[in-house]
Amino acid sequence: MKQALIIYESMYGDNEKVAYAIAQGLATQMRVDVMEVSSAPPRVDTSIDLLVVGGPTHMTRMSSEKSRSRAGNEVDEEEWEPLSETGVREWLTRLRARGEMGRGAAAAFGTNLNEPRWVSKLGQASHAIARRLKRLGFQMIEPPETFFVEEVQGPLSEGEVERAHRFGVQLARHFAEAPRPHA
Ligand SMILES: Cc1cc2nc3c(=O)[nH]c(=O)nc-3n(C[C@H](O)[C@H](O)[C@H](O)COP(=O)(O)O)c2cc1C
């Protein structure tokens, strides 16, 4: 059975929910592991047939150290800790620094604010992640997908978990159909 790996970054839990919903969709046809980016491996093992990477949109792009510390300012609770201590930007940069070139299939997702829509039009993490993966040499088997949240701290907008599940099913289908140069 083919193996997928989903790596997600999340401050407030929305991308985590999306990642697990995509995993459920993929699991209809593949084995799937889901990893939070802070504990993700520094390289993509050759046993991974499909890599899926996602994270939140911060200031129209992928998060940065600065934007992640700002994410903490949004929260009232003193004890609050972000789910992710690092970001997919840093993880992808590390892959590049190690000369890790993508050998397999990949897809990207992310989250943006649902309203106002013009904010999302300024930029989406899903697109930025897809560009990076492509530059690393991965074969993108699906256009990047953005899921929407109601407020900065979530929750996901109505129907988005179900849409993420469908995205996972569709990914698995397209993966099975895509010609794989490394196969
Ligand atoms: C510092 C910061 C900047 C943000 N900038 C944007 C933005 O430019 N566009 C947007 O749609 N959402 C923006 N948001 C909202 C995030 O997209 C939202 O917090 C995220 O999707 C929630 O996902 P998570 O729970 O997985 O962290 C921003 C949030 C923070 C904390």
Q: Where are the domains of the chain?
A: 3-177
Residue 82 CB less than 6 A away from ligand 1 = no
pLDDT digits (tens, 9 = 90+) for 135-170: 999 999 999 999 999 999 999 999 999 999 999 999
Number of neighbours of residue 118 by Cβ within 10 angstroms: 7
- Which of the listed residues 74, 83, 113, 124 should we mutate to test ligand 1's pocket, taking the one with most ligand atoms within 8 A of CB? 113
What pLDDT is attached to residue 123?
Answer: 97
Cα of 146 vs its chain's centroid, Å: 9
Please check whether residue 64 is in contact with residue 58, taking contact to mean a CB–CB distance below 8 angstroms.
yes
Which pLDDT belongs to residue 183? 46
Mutate to test the pocket of ligand 1, among 70, 112, 146, 161 (most ligand atoms within 8 A of CB): 112
Report residue 172 as tokens. 């698995």
Whether 83 lines ligand 1, by a CB cut-off of 6 Å, is no
- Residue among 171, 170, 180 nearest 4 (CA): 171
Question: What tens digit of pLDDT does each residue of 109-138 get?
Answer: 999 999 998 999 999 999 999 999 999 999
What separation in Å is there between the alpha carbon of 80 and the centre of ligand 1? 17
Cα(45)–Cα(100) distance, rounded to whole angstroms?
10
CATH fold for the domain made of 3-177: Rossmann fold (3.40.50)
Mean pLDDT of the chain: 93
pLDDT band at 180 (very low <50, low <70, confident <90, very high): low
Reported as a pLDDT band with limits 50, 70 and 90, residue 72 is confident
